[in-house]
């Protein structure tokens, strides 16, 4: 573990809005606590990074690899019509990539998900189901380490 990872701390807004699922080699994998959409976030465990170009080239490539891997597999798991992958950072400056699984029948389709409908928190059972889906797929690849469920 290097110094930047030791200093890494999840932004308070992400910590409040998300459930930690696990870690890729570079990024922490989060689930937004909104059952309206399967909505995941990757956050590189690097202190002070607010833009992808703040990462060294090797880590930029790793982040893109992890994002592509996640998006492709989420599309398969959830039978996505479209994957929305974006980095905005206007409200949360910490570098993070949104991965939102979109369906033609979701509450905001085809528009953006932000502010369309109030967030609907996941039930414990739903969180367990999503964690299991992600764990089965991603741990079989060796790409991600899954965090234990909180009780």
- Do the domain assignments include residue 151? no
- Do the domain assignments include residue 77? yes
121 three-state secondary structure: coil
**What CATH number does residue 97 fall under?**
3.30.428.10
Q: Taking the model in full, what pTM does it have?
A: 0.89
Is residue 96 exposed (0-12), middle (13-18) or buried (19+ Cβ within 10 Å)? buried
- Do the domain assignments include residue 123? yes
pLDDT tens sequence across 38-87: 999 999 999 999 999 999 999 999 999 999 999 999 999 999 999 999 99
Instruction: Tell me which DSSP letter residue 81 carries.
Output: S
Range of the domain at 108: 3-141
Report how many domains make up the chain: 1
Cα distances from 143 to residues 1, 14, 111, 122, 135, in angstroms, run 17, 22, 32, 25, 10
- Do the domain assignments include residue 91? yes
């Amino acid at each position: 573990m290097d110094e930047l990872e030791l200093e890494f701390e999840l932004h308070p807004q992400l910590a409040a809005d998300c459930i930690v699922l696990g870690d890729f080699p570079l990024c922490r994998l989060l689930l937004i606590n909104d059952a309206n959409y399967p909505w995941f976030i990757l956050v590189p465990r690097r202190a002070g990074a607010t833009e992808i170009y703040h990462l060294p080239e090797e880590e930029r490539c790793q982040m893109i690899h992890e994002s592509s891997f996640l998006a492709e597999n989420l599309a398969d798991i959830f039978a996505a019509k479209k994957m929305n992958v974006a980095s905005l950072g206007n409200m949360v400056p910490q570098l993070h990539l949104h991965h939102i699984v979109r369906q033609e029948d979701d509450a905001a389709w085809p528009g953006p998900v932000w502010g369309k409908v109030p967030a609907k928190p996941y039930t414990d059972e739903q969180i367990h189901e999503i964690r299991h889906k992600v764990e089965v797929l991603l741990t079989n690849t060796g790409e991600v380490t899954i965090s234990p469920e909180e009780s």
